[in-house]
Amino acid sequence: MESRIERLCIEKGLKMTGQRRTIARVLSEPGDHPDVEELYRRAAALDARISIATVYRTVRLLEEQGILEKRDFGGGRARYEPTEHGHHHHLIDIDSGRVIEFEEEAHEQLLREIAARLGFELVSARLELFGRRADTQSAISRPAATRADATSVGEPSAAPGQASLRHRGAAR
């Protein structure tokens, strides 16, 4: 069976080697933001004949093709997610590290206005919210104009603002 990313690769005319197919499959797992190490671990589990250099080369290739986007949530490692058409942003749960995606029409418009006011044409934007679960039951409240996919992700490490949480002595 053929993964979504693999299909995109074929459309772009990329050669589909076994390794790329495996990596494409891993990347097609929905709602995820793995770093290269994590991708490598998952891919190697499916096919031990994959080196980390290939993972690096592949994500770079896919990024250049517009199939993937590179993210930096702090912590020293780049993380990747499939490009989607509606631009979305991220809310990081500062307690668990979970990443929640959302998009907001009203917001896009406001950003364009801010840029224009400063004399710029908006090319792209990146918005990250760092928040804490509203502690009561109220944590349901239907997303209205907002689409949200919860997305469990790596270690609980996200930093408020951009303060790094690199614990002394912890590996980077």
Residues that bind a copy of itself (CB under 8 A): 63, 69-72, 74, 78, 91, 93-94, 100, 102, 104, 106-107, 110-111, 114-134, 138-141, 143-144, 146, 148, 160-164
**Measured from the CB atom, is 56 or 102 closer to DNA?**
56
Q: How do beta strands 79-82 and 89-93 pair?
A: unpaired
52 binds DNA (CB under 7 A): yes
Tokens for 86? 């509606």
Site for DNA in 104-143 (CB under 7 A): none
Alpha-carbon span 72 to 169, nearest angstrom: 22
| Contact partners, residue 97, CB within 8 Å, separation at least 6 | 153, 154, 155, 156, 157, 158
Q: Does 78 bind DNA (CB under 7 A)?
A: yes
| CA 112 to chain CA centroid, nearest Å | 23
Chain contacts with DNA (rule: CB under 7 A): 14-20, 35-37, 49-54, 56-58, 60, 76-78, 164, 166, 168-169, 171-172
